[in-house]
Structure 1
Amino acid sequence: MFEILRSAFKETGMTAATGHEKLNKMINRPNILAGVSHEVRTQMNSIVAFSYLMNNERFSDNEKREFSEQIISSCEQLIGLFENFFDTASLESGSTRENLRETDITRLFESLTSEFRVFMRKKGHDNVVLIQEDNLPDKLMLKLDVARITRIISNLFRDALDSTSSGFIKVGCTYNDETITFYVKDSGQGFPRSSNLLLSDNPEIQHSESQDTYS
């Protein structure tokens, strides 16, 4: 799923002109624009529809509160969509800046899974079980771009939750041979190819198992 991200990290010796050319090439890909356009329209339609319903007097306060939560959720997904797009654009152009800092990976992973459980309870996903898997020591200090890693794993988790009405979601983190791997697996049906367009051109990728590796 992170084919574009990994290939961009591996490239070296990129000049400013080359980076600008790669950025233009990526933005002009028809499938990239189609994917962004589809996702933006979907969330904007949701915002408009629920905003309209909130102004309808026949709905109760509780129903309007639910509409409000749907609007907030759509806004958050739009923000995440644009953050992912700009992240990918920066990586493709070679202009990304990593904010690396010493981080306790064990504590970070525990914090993420705790937030995911709270999110599931808040959204009423009672038919989905969150399974935490890891082989981390009590404390593991590594240099990571915490904001970027957190955003990627959170996006994977939310995509898994969207595609899983019942069953399980596994969020895992393994550490072997000085390499750390985060992954998300679910028992859902996967998600449409349009959801993958920002990160991969491979139509065979399914969301049932997504992971990224760092060393």
Structure 2
Amino acid sequence: MVMLLTTMIFMLLGVIFFQYRMQKSKDEQLRYTYEKLQEIAGKQTAEKLLVVTDDQELQKLLVAINRLLEAKQKTNADHAKVEISMRKMLSNVSHDLKTPLTVILGYIEILQTDPTLSEEERQALLKKVQLKTYELMELIHKFFDLAKLESGDQRIELTRINVNEVCQANILSFYDVLTTKGFAVHIDLPETPLYALGNEEVLGRILNNLISNAIAYGGDGKTLGMTVRNEEKLVCIDIWDKGKGISESHIDKVFERMYTLEDSRNRLYQGSGLGLTITKRLVEALGGEIHLSSKPYGKTVFTIMLKRMEF
């Protein structure tokens, strides 16, 4: 009897000791988890929690915590990227607004202070003031448009549109410009009309931006093309040129705010850096995608992909 009681006591002590060790191990793991979380939060690092444990409930907790950390770190990274982009944008906005304003003020000062100007010279300066004012207003409109698109304030009604008709009308609107500049134009539209989910006005603006971009930046190739393709559930529109193109290192950046293609395109045609950003936002507002591929002096292609609709 005594031996049995003694054995039971030792067994109970063993169980208690095992539970004590388990609890102590769990306490240490929880303490480490807490301290590591404090460190990660304090230093804003990209670390994850790594704890070796057999406790399945603790494993589930660690998985959930790491998911939250990943989400927080992604949010922080996105916020930092937006902040950098906004600082750059404000800097460039200031510069882009200051330049035409300085020129306008210079012309006005000449008109006010130079009594020797002939009427013809005065009219020429006034014409320059008018052109610079239009340039400034266009830039302000671009900033306003981008702000509306990114805030979601601009509502776009989506309907079934005839892509062939919209593309044909837009390329024809550039006929005089292309002819004057000596461009060879290649238009490839399918005989059977293709329909897509979209908005005629918005798609027209997208095409206008891309064709203008091809004329300005791909002009040295003297070739411009438009191709409309049927890709199963998508309607694809290619706007292409054979100009200087865009180097691979710049392709991922061309749709960013204020990116002006300084190294990859002609410096004579530097713009606000908002045209392609607005174009991308408009394509996304139609539920589509836009992609770019480029082989310098071979073929630079902007491809718009919209959801195809039946007749």
> What amino acid is the match of 1:192?
L
C-alpha spacing 1:97/1:116, structure 2 compared with 1 (3 Å): same
RMSD over equivalenced CA pairs, Å: 4.3
Say which SS state the counterpart of residue 143 (structure 1) adopts.
strand
- Per-residue displacement from partner, 1:19-58 (whole Å, max 9, x unpaired)? xxx9xx6797112223434444455566667889999549
Task: Give, in angstroms, the shift of residue 151 of structure 1.
Answer: 1.8
> What amino acid is the match of 2:216?
D
Task: Tell me if 1:192 matches 2:249.
Answer: no
C-alpha spacing 1:105/1:31, structure 2 compared with 1 (3 Å): same
Larger Cα Rg: Structure 1 or Structure 2?
A: 2
Residue equivalent to 1:33: 90
Q: TM-score, normalised by structure 2?
A: 0.43
Residue equivalent to 1:214: 306
Counterpart selection for 2:164 from 95, 101, 106: 106
Taking the aligned partners of 1:38 and 1:180, their CA distance within structure 2 comes to: 39
Residue equivalent to 2:212: 158
Task: Give, in angstroms, the shift of residue 95 of structure 1.
Answer: 3.3
Taking the aligned partners of 1:211 and 1:29, their CA distance within structure 2 comes to: 27
Taking the aligned partners of 1:188 and 1:49, their CA distance within structure 2 comes to: 36
By relative contact order (CA 8 Å, sep 6+), the higher-ranking structure is 1
Task: Give, in angstroms, the shift of residue 142 of structure 1.
Answer: 3.1
Task: Give, in angstroms, the shift of residue 150 of structure 1.
Answer: 1.7
Counterpart selection for 1:92 from 150, 160, 179: 150
Q: 1:1-215 residue pairs with structure 2 within 5 A?
A: 29-44=86-101, 57=118, 64=124, 68=127, 72=131, 75=134, 78-121=136-179, 124-125=180-181, 128-175=182-229, 176-189=231-244, 192-193=261-262, 195=271, 197-198=273-274, 199=277, 208-215=300-307
The answer for unaligned runs of 5 or more in structure 1 is: 1-21
Percentage of identical aligned residues: 18
C-alpha spacing 1:136/1:28, structure 2 compared with 1 (3 Å): same
Task: Give, in angstroms, the shift of residue 166 of structure 1.
Answer: 3.6
Task: Give, in angstroms, the shift of residue 109 of structure 1.
Answer: 0.8
C-alpha spacing 1:27/1:153, structure 2 compared with 1 (3 Å): farther
1:109–1:173 Cα contact (<8 Å) kept? no
1:135–1:173 Cα contact (<8 Å) kept? yes
Residue equivalent to 2:285: none
C-alpha spacing 1:184/1:26, structure 2 compared with 1 (3 Å): farther
1:35–1:195 Cα contact (<8 Å) kept? no
Residue equivalent to 2:30: none
C-alpha spacing 1:181/1:48, structure 2 compared with 1 (3 Å): farther
> What amino acid is the match of 2:261?
P
Q: TM-score, normalised by structure 1?
A: 0.58
Residue equivalent to 2:25: none
Taking the aligned partners of 1:49 and 1:165, their CA distance within structure 2 comes to: 32
1:172–1:184 Cα contact (<8 Å) kept? yes
Give 1 or 2: higher helix fraction.
2
The answer for unaligned runs of 5 or more in structure 2 is: 1-78, 246-259, 263-269, 281-292
- More displaced stretch, 154-163 vs 182-191: 182-191
Taking the aligned partners of 1:26 and 1:45, their CA distance within structure 2 comes to: 28
> What amino acid is the match of 1:180?
V
1:173–1:180 Cα contact (<8 Å) kept? no
